[in-house]
Structure 1
């Protein structure tokens, strides 16, 4: 959901918030104040100088101009370039990109870092946004929205808090008991905090939730500021859904992944970039031979008018994938940010799109409504319908993306078919078709609809949806489509002088061969929306090639990502749900198969859900802050189907 931008007026080079009637920073010594209050106030120097592998997790309550993040990043570069930082911050009124750049231009010595931050700065949409710098060693998670609400959705353990933001007298809504409770929930014994303010509401609020609070000299003319250390949580938050609580984990040395499609390859890279050795097992002779193997796939998210959990996952995943692709392939060798059109081919869809724009749910930089004439100009060919245009979207070659993902020194690809899993003496034993027995401490199952072939996962309700794309040669004179067009099907701009279009969506289909009937269906959909392109393609219809694959989906069309539950024990522990879905379970714990995870069921949305799901799984496995909100993580938890059956009394 789109937020209200910060309303800023400028006094010379100093930004002033009209919402809070206060300046963002000390106009002369803002960077020095940040170092004094937050860096020194939290005594971060020893942590950063430490030569041990250490991921430093910093939480902040007001991102503002990003000055605190930039100053800490600079300190790490100067002190210990091997140190990893995950900086997590919130902002209810984000600056626009031009104001952010202007605000940070006051410090020329920070220009190198500012020039990296500004291009990645997120669109003005609520939720979690992830930015990566210095070869992914520096991570920034920006949660756009109310601070207390944002942190209530975060799963993390924070090492130190930067309690920043406008003064309590100017911004009383932020400095709330709810925020202090979330800060305590996300802290551990020894977690520190520092803040520029010495207001009583802050001092009492932090003491009430378990912090030892002390005063010390403030910066410059400020007489006092507060620092302190977390002792214990005096107001613990009860666990609302214990069946979704995640098992504890420590970063492993190696992980084995079953399945070499988008989910498996993206998971492999996410782990490999954390220094984990990965064995990727694929039964076929090459990667991405299943649902991930089409020549081109549309990279965009179909957005709901009003925010839903599914919509939030898709938007977060889309923004994450686009940012990732810009980072790993700036030359666009296996993708193109050419824009995507989502055409309104029915009155119902046109009304939905008009409503989406009228609600001002999303910023224009993300999506706007265009006439058929405007879309025709963008596409460089006649378009028959009005529709939405996503300028930052495009297409991706999934197989090329998978090949890029596994081109990493920490990833080894093994061609084997795994038939069975068993756990003995602290290790997983993987029985292969060749008779070889492989061992692994951690296993991630990513083999699409075959993910429920194992005893540990046979409860997963996976289904296949058949799809066929049509492929034809695009003669140079006719190679004129400039953007992806989605109607009842989709077509991408020609890649290697070939058009790829389709795809059929057959819930019952089992035919694995390419059929002429499906070619004709794809041609009919194409002719409905792009008459000129259709005329060119139809003239070559006898030369149509194609590809058939089966998308792996689930009953709720959400992926399955997370630890594998022990079905019988989960049923026994939470059996009371059959009688009372609101029963409060005390000290109940969800049991999971040790170090066994699942990542499957992405359907036709793999390009936007696989990379963010891979980051989620890698963060779970390595005990890092999780990149998605807790309610979204719950919605894709593998245990959800068992719990739903208990509530419906069908198990």
Structure 2
């Protein structure tokens, strides 16, 4: 689903699919005059907490770039700018950048957009720009279908697309009706076309329509405001909060730290409480972990959630961490069963290869594996030191960390206030919102409120690790997984370290592990290492031998029965202001940032970072 662009002699891009030119020399002027000013911007968003724009055709992103530039230049801008754009046939990243070169004043923004403009498979992609204050939600697919499936509420609409005679579907009454579902009373709309069919359809959908002077050589443009004579029906649930307030996050692991950071970025005053002396004292304290997409031939929900999570993780880590020290997004080689690569057939030639593809000879050779090994190469994947990520997240403005603060009980003192108490009954803190991110301990807190018992499962695991010998032949320059995971060349104690693991013991919580249990887990990891990367096993054999320099880390992960995370309100009717984010399982680094953004978006009525179907698959309401 990609667009083929022809470039005319004057430098104007031309769509061979629709036999029509994209906006030429007037492109930037049109973006500002027709769309931005046509929707009353930037004046309309002054002082708002957030502003949500829906666009019906992304094209080369010129309307988005112009809006982003106006947001940056406005001292009264909203804290958060949401730009949701539909596109059935995305242009290539190179064409995107080439088109932006016609407008030097947008060059820096175009470069930032270009860096994230990849892997645009059908579905929804959240691009995190301007330190997370500008969120571009690219929706790839048929506009009418996407508009019917999602539950956005927007403040402005840029009605854009090719000429109605060239692409009538985008201007059809059915598409415009689906678009109107996402408008609130007062939502403004602007477009360059004044076609009678479009005016009539908008009027029928509840818009008050007017023609205004156009940008020469066009005589007229169209502006409209959603103000139907009837009471609009909506399947959207009203957000629990429209303005930031105080929040208590319980648990300083990945789930809690990412939730705290996402809320603080939106203006919340967050207090994070944890029983331990330092953050990342539980399962999130492993020395290093992987983030990588999951593969499924039918590209199921699990796989699509994993890709959204990887994109979110890349964006957050790229903003906070030092490559090669705190993290390394150099890719991951995944060994697969013979003949079962797990790649969807449609990925053979397209944006799917930006994510994963059959491993090439160079990657197999670098891992010391035979060239006929069944394996996939995940380009957008790597390793992260979770404790370092958590430390950077908690250093964000608006977050106060309270270690050594074990919470024994939650108390709902009024419809809008929660308190957390210690074991003596003393109040530790109070706030309008509580987010429980306590892993396996979450159910114990909820049980005291007669809340639902979540289907959580504890999974104990041990990682084997040690400092690398010098030299260290056979240790791949990237992570390798598939029946365990090997991560080498991780900076540690002034040297480099390797890590192998982790074991997987369901329904076991006991820590610390006994000496016998540790030895058994080391043996399990050793056996997996020999099967996974034989050349590395040869190098690390002395470490696993009796008396070798072998170290261990163990922790208890939290997962759910359906292997999906659990994010959302605990019981919106009976326990308002009580939310949860947990059950990241063994994929916490892949899921945590996405779950935090999903929690914040649902809480405050923002466009979601994933399709509605995926959000429901992770939501508390499914349980």
What TM-score, normalized by structure 1, do the two folds share? 0.88
Summarize the Cα distance change of 1:435–1:358 in structure 2 as closer, same or farther, 3 Å threshold.
closer
Give the structure 1 partner of residue 552 of structure 2: 546
Summarize the Cα distance change of 1:79–1:28 in structure 2 as closer, same or farther, 3 Å threshold.
same
Summarize the Cα distance change of 1:32–1:409 in structure 2 as closer, same or farther, 3 Å threshold.
closer
Is the 8 Å Cα contact of residues 213 and 227 (structure 1) preserved in structure 2? yes
1:463 aligns with 2:457: yes
For residue 109 of structure 1, report the CA deviation from its aligned partner.
2.3
- In structure 1, what is the Cα distance between the partners aligned to 2:231 and 2:177? 7
For residue 303 of structure 1, report the CA deviation from its aligned partner.
1.9
Unpaired stretches in structure 2, ≥5 consecutive residues: none
Partner of 2:132, secondary structure, is: coil
Give the structure 2 partner of residue 614 of structure 1: 596
1:484 aligns with 2:484: no
Give the structure 1 partner of residue 136 of structure 2: 140
Is the 8 Å Cα contact of residues 452 and 570 (structure 2) preserved in structure 1? no
Give the structure 2 partner of residue 64 of structure 1: 59
Partner of 1:547, secondary structure, is: strand
Unpaired stretches in structure 1, ≥5 consecutive residues: 567-590, 642-651
Partner of 2:210, secondary structure, is: strand
- In structure 2, what is the Cα distance between the partners aligned to 1:262 and 1:158? 31
Give the structure 2 partner of residue 473 of structure 1: 467
Q: Which stretch has the larger CA shift, 297-306 or 230-239? A: 230-239
2:68 to 67, 73, 81: 73
1:368 to 335, 346, 357: 357
Partner of 1:477, secondary structure, is: coil
The CA deviation string for residues 190-226 of structure 1, in whole angstroms up to 9 with x for no partner, is 1110111112332122112211111223221223322
For residue 505 of structure 1, report the CA deviation from its aligned partner.
1.6
Give the structure 2 partner of residue 603 of structure 1: 585
1:20 aligns with 2:18: yes
Summarize the Cα distance change of 1:609–1:393 in structure 2 as closer, same or farther, 3 Å threshold.
same
- In structure 1, what is the Cα distance between the partners aligned to 2:455 and 2:552? 29
2:419 to 429, 436, 459: 429
For residue 469 of structure 1, report the CA deviation from its aligned partner.
0.9
For residue 229 of structure 1, report the CA deviation from its aligned partner.
0.4
Give the structure 1 partner of residue 565 of structure 2: 559
For residue 354 of structure 1, report the CA deviation from its aligned partner.
6.1
2:4 to 7, 12, 26: 7
Q: Which stretch has the larger CA shift, 122-131 or 493-502? A: 122-131
- In structure 1, what is the Cα distance between the partners aligned to 2:436 and 2:90? 39
For residue 247 of structure 1, report the CA deviation from its aligned partner.
5.0
For residue 260 of structure 1, report the CA deviation from its aligned partner.
0.8
Alignment length (residue pairs):
603
- In structure 2, what is the Cα distance between the partners aligned to 1:532 and 1:443? 49
For residue 158 of structure 1, report the CA deviation from its aligned partner.
1.1
Partner of 2:305, secondary structure, is: helix
Give the structure 1 partner of residue 211 of structure 2: 215
- In structure 1, what is the Cα distance between the partners aligned to 2:586 and 2:22? 44
- In structure 2, what is the Cα distance between the partners aligned to 1:362 and 1:41? 34
Q: Which stretch has the larger CA shift, 327-336 or 204-213? A: 327-336
Is the 8 Å Cα contact of residues 375 and 386 (structure 1) preserved in structure 2? no
Give the structure 2 partner of residue 387 of structure 1: 375
Summarize the Cα distance change of 1:561–1:113 in structure 2 as closer, same or farther, 3 Å threshold.
same
1:273 aligns with 2:243: no
Is the 8 Å Cα contact of residues 602 and 610 (structure 1) preserved in structure 2? yes
Summarize the Cα distance change of 1:54–1:381 in structure 2 as closer, same or farther, 3 Å threshold.
same
- In structure 2, what is the Cα distance between the partners aligned to 1:382 and 1:327? 37
The CA deviation string for residues 361-407 of structure 1, in whole angstroms up to 9 with x for no partner, is 85222111025x43333436778832000122110111111111101
Question: Where does 1:66-145 land on structure 2 (aligned, <5 Å)?
Answer: 66-80=61-75, 82-84=77-79, 85-145=81-141
Give the structure 1 partner of residue 441 of structure 2: 450
Question: Where does 1:620-639 land on structure 2 (aligned, <5 Å)?
Answer: 620-639=602-621
1:333 to 322, 325, 328: 325
Give the structure 1 partner of residue 389 of structure 2: 401
Give the structure 1 partner of residue 488 of structure 2: 493
Is the 8 Å Cα contact of residues 368 and 533 (structure 2) preserved in structure 1? no
Find runs of 4+ consecutive structure 1 residues off by over 6 angstroms.
380-384
Q: Which stretch has the larger CA shift, 108-117 or 176-185? A: 176-185
Partner of 1:521, secondary structure, is: helix
For residue 127 of structure 1, report the CA deviation from its aligned partner.
2.2
- In structure 2, what is the Cα distance between the partners aligned to 1:621 and 1:445? 14
Is the 8 Å Cα contact of residues 527 and 534 (structure 1) preserved in structure 2? yes
1:232 aligns with 2:228: yes
Give the structure 1 partner of residue 503 of structure 2: 504
Summarize the Cα distance change of 1:400–1:621 in structure 2 as closer, same or farther, 3 Å threshold.
same
Q: Which stretch has the larger CA shift, 97-106 or 219-228? A: 219-228
Partner of 1:493, secondary structure, is: strand
Q: Which stretch has the larger CA shift, 146-155 or 104-113? A: 146-155
2:145 to 139, 144, 149: 149
Is the 8 Å Cα contact of residues 255 and 442 (structure 1) preserved in structure 2? yes
- In structure 2, what is the Cα distance between the partners aligned to 1:360 and 1:178? 32
Give the structure 2 partner of residue 572 of structure 1: none
- In structure 2, what is the Cα distance between the partners aligned to 1:596 and 1:73? 34
For residue 176 of structure 1, report the CA deviation from its aligned partner.
3.0
Give the structure 1 partner of residue 538 of structure 2: 535
- In structure 1, what is the Cα distance between the partners aligned to 2:432 and 2:247? 7
- In structure 2, what is the Cα distance between the partners aligned to 1:370 and 1:134? 34
Partner of 2:354, secondary structure, is: coil
1:195 to 188, 191, 201: 191
Summarize the Cα distance change of 1:30–1:252 in structure 2 as closer, same or farther, 3 Å threshold.
closer
Summarize the Cα distance change of 1:384–1:501 in structure 2 as closer, same or farther, 3 Å threshold.
farther
For residue 419 of structure 1, report the CA deviation from its aligned partner.
1.4
- In structure 1, what is the Cα distance between the partners aligned to 2:503 and 2:371? 21
- In structure 1, what is the Cα distance between the partners aligned to 2:530 and 2:226? 65
Is the 8 Å Cα contact of residues 188 and 232 (structure 1) preserved in structure 2? no
Q: Which stretch has the larger CA shift, 441-450 or 207-216? A: 207-216
- In structure 1, what is the Cα distance between the partners aligned to 2:521 and 2:312? 33
Query: What is the RMSD of the two structures over their aligned residues, measured on CA atoms?
Result: 2.3
The CA deviation string for residues 257-279 of structure 1, in whole angstroms up to 9 with x for no partner, is 01111000000001111121100
- In structure 2, what is the Cα distance between the partners aligned to 1:553 and 1:540? 31
- In structure 1, what is the Cα distance between the partners aligned to 2:282 and 2:470? 30
Partner of 1:88, secondary structure, is: strand
- In structure 2, what is the Cα distance between the partners aligned to 1:176 and 1:354? 36
1:163 aligns with 2:155: no
Partner of 1:492, secondary structure, is: strand
- In structure 2, what is the Cα distance between the partners aligned to 1:386 and 1:180? 48
Is the 8 Å Cα contact of residues 181 and 235 (structure 1) preserved in structure 2? no
- In structure 1, what is the Cα distance between the partners aligned to 2:290 and 2:166? 46
For residue 621 of structure 1, report the CA deviation from its aligned partner.
2.6
